[in-house]
Structure 1
Amino acid sequence: MNSYRYQDIYSKIKKSIETNHYRAGKLLPTQEQLANEFNVSRVTIKKALNCLEKENLIYTKQGSGTYVKPRLDKFPDNETLPLDYPVGVTYSHRDAKIQNQILKFDARMPSKKEKSALELNDSDPIYDIRRLRFVNDKVYSLEHTIIPTKIAPIDTKILEGSLYDYLGKRGLKITDAHRIIQALNATQEEAELLKIKKNTAILSINQVCYDQKARPFELSHSIFIGSQSKFGLDVHLN
């Protein structure tokens, strides 16, 4: 048998999770059931499951079994957004009316900080994007996004819709994100754009997103109005 059979099984189970065949928060089939399904040993299944666990897609409860990790549907009130899953406004508010106002869209060479965060060469240009996001006709967030131009061609029409949807259609999948979260007070400029008073409480999230090949492809800074923002995080300890 091919010694990399477990990688094929890992890919198939992962696809079943992503397509909701194996539902978030629910039990996976047992190792024995999976071994029978794929006609392999339990050792091979265990290797595949280990890969999924390293990607934070599944977790094991001793004496209970292996579960698909809850993600977007774990906060059913549609107001609490998950902090442990890298998604955009369009993903987190699927049933809402989403609009984008482009404040800035340019291409330039990256700064030293941007080169380091996105692992770029001196000759790699980036897109500099600033958008105001609206949910159901109300100001929701202010976003500043940096993306290498080599990732994909981007224009204003694309930015008026979902950037992540567009990148997904081009084969890029968001798998991980590193986030730094701060509670701050709005500056005068931020307050004017978000239609709030200066020094109003805001939530600031700085983020680097990674694709399925562990490559950083986005550096962003998002600002949310404190009184309108609620984020949640599930913690599982082995």
Structure 2
Amino acid sequence: MAYNYKEVANELRRQIQNGKYRPGELISDQNKIAEDFCTTRITVHKALQLLMIEGMIYSKRGAGTFVRKDYSIDNSINGKISPSEQLLGTTETNAGKSVTSKLLELSARIPSYEEAENLLIQPTVPVYVIRRIRYLNDKVFAYERTIMPTSITTLTEDVLKSSVYSHLKKEGFNIEGSHRIVSAKKASQTDIDTGIAEKIGEPVLVINQLSYLDDGQPFEISESRFPYQNSKLTADITL
């Protein structure tokens, strides 16, 4: 039986959580894993990408793939939601309502080391820097800052005034899921300037997100900040 990349990722995740591979330990190479699962090296590579996105493992060129030294089972319940079963953008989440955007920045630059590592791209691949204020029924809904590889798609002001996710789907991309960290922070000057808060120190809801396509390729690093007055997080948990 040949396994798909999600099944390989699930089994490797289970092995790490059960202690077969301990924090800081080198895991089997891709060829060995492919042999164990009767699958291809490409499938194994996609599976490992998912675990990298989740922050469970990391790859060191010339040395192999390791379990993160700071990984613990508790990481999976420390305010993190990963992956989402269905990833929707602001426009689709609020279907039937008026969703508009004010574009503050659309530029391109070379990624930082951390951005390149998280997006699994070469450090020479440019990334977009996108900053937008999103409005829901003409009221400030969120401030978004997004980093996206320019190699994924071509973005224009018209696209960014509408829905990036809808644009990606029209281009034939299938969005698989997201690794999210949800937290509460104190408002900064940027929050005041963008209408998210009225004063420094006011609480704001913050969602940091790394999203990926169905082939395991990350396509977006984003931070969204929401006014506390209309922020709500709903989660359905099945045991």
Normalising TM by the smaller chain, what interval? 0.5 to 0.7
> What does residue 24 of structure 2 align with?
none
Q: Say which is worse superposed, 213-222 or 181-190, in terms of deviation.
A: 181-190
Secondary structure in 2 matching 1:208:
strand
Q: Give 1:163 shift.
A: 0.4
> What does residue 113 of structure 1 align with?
114
Structure 2: stretches of 5+ with no match in the other structure: 5-82
Secondary structure in 1 matching 2:158:
helix
**TM value normalised by structure 2:** 0.63
Partners of 1:128 and 1:195 lie apart in 2 by 20
Identity fraction in percent: 35
Q: For the Cα contact (< 8 Å) 1:125–1:148, is it kept in 2?
A: yes
Equivalent residue letter for 2:228: G
> What does residue 179 of structure 1 align with?
180
Partners of 1:215 and 1:160 lie apart in 2 by 25
Paired residues in the alignment total 160
Partners of 2:186 and 2:90 lie apart in 1 by 22
Q: Give 1:194 shift.
A: 1.7
Q: For the Cα contact (< 8 Å) 1:96–1:135, is it kept in 2?
A: yes
Across the aligned residues of Structure 1 and Structure 2, the Cα RMSD in angstroms comes to 2.0
> What does residue 74 of structure 1 align with?
none
Partners of 1:149 and 1:192 lie apart in 2 by 28
Q: Give 1:148 shift.
A: 0.4
> What does residue 222 of structure 1 align with?
224
Question: Aligned to 2:209, which of 203, 207, 210?
Answer: 207
Q: For the Cα contact (< 8 Å) 1:184–1:201, is it kept in 2?
A: yes
Equivalent residue letter for 2:96: D
Partners of 2:232 and 2:196 lie apart in 1 by 19
Q: Deviations over 1:166-187 (max 9, x none)?
A: 0011111211110111101111
Partners of 2:214 and 2:190 lie apart in 1 by 36
Partners of 2:174 and 2:204 lie apart in 1 by 29
Q: Give 1:191 shift.
A: 1.6
Q: Give 1:195 shift.
A: 5.2
Q: For the Cα contact (< 8 Å) 2:176–2:213, is it kept in 1?
A: yes
Larger Rg: 1
> What does residue 127 of structure 2 align with?
126
**TM value normalised by structure 1:** 0.64
Partners of 2:205 and 2:195 lie apart in 1 by 12
